[in-house]
Amino acid sequence: MSAPTTSELLALDRAAQDLLFREARTAGPFTDEPVTDAQVAAIHDLIRYGPTAYNGQPLRVLLLRSPESRARLLPYLSSGNRAKTASAPLTAILAADVDFHERLPELYPHRPQAREWLADRAARVEQARFNATLQIGYLIVGVRAAGLAAGPMAGFDAAGVQREFLPDGRHEVLLLLNLGHPAPHTGPARLPRLDTGEVVRTLDG
């Protein structure tokens, strides 16, 4: 009997594996089909179960759907990100709630003192950024699970976006994300990925 292939060693079937990873691409162009509120809710209902420290869940998402809201964002983007953002069905501003600890009595009830552990703002901001970034990874996979494509962007003036959209002082903008139904891919072939042996080592003893 031949050894199982890597895809056969996973619990997900091959089609699901391809949908989430092998065939998924970072999207630039999208079709005109909208992304509905119901789809966004379904994505969040899936990805909210991804682990975060203290179950804090600091990621916050601000959706820009209208042309007017998108027009407010465009001046803060690098030139290479403006056209694709203007034409995307939906753009999300992804931010960390640096006061996420206020919800810990509800979200981490078996450790009532957890909120006080994070009273120091500097330590709290570091936790918020790290765990919200984890959640962004879950979100991108969740977008793919919905049959949509994600186009994450770091080329923007984060301080400017924060002033324009989230000036309350409790949110730190981390990333922008275009999402929608992908247009047929016409760009370059997929770039190479590192092999397992280049990434994974085992320490014996």
Contact (CB, 8 A) for 150 and 27: yes
- Is the pLDDT at 28 greater than 90? The verdict is no
Contact (CB, 8 A) for 31 and 181: yes
- Is the pLDDT at 179 greater than 90? The verdict is yes
Token reading at 145: 């699970």
The 10s digit of each residue's pLDDT in 122-169 is: 999 999 999 999 999 999 999 999 999 999 999 999 999 999 999 999
User: Residue 1: which pLDDT band, with cuts at 50, 70 and 90?
Assistant: low
pLDDT at 187: 72
| Length, in residues, of the chain | 205
Which of 19, 28, 18 is CA-nearest to residue 152?
Answer: 28
- Is the pLDDT at 174 greater than 80? The verdict is yes
Contact (CB, 8 A) for 20 and 141: yes
Contact (CB, 8 A) for 73 and 164: yes
Mean pLDDT of the chain: 93
CA dist 114 and 52 (Å) reads: 14
The 10s digit of each residue's pLDDT in 45-87 is: 999 999 999 999 999 999 999 999 999 999 999 999 999 999 9
The burial of 93, by beta-carbon neighbours within 10 Å (0-12 exposed, 13-18 middle, 19 or more buried), is given as buried
Question: What are the residues whose beta carbons fall under 8 Å from the beta carbon of 127, sequence distance 6 or more?
Answer: 53, 54, 56, 58, 100, 118
CA dist 22 and 186 (Å) reads: 17
pTM score, whole prediction: 0.94
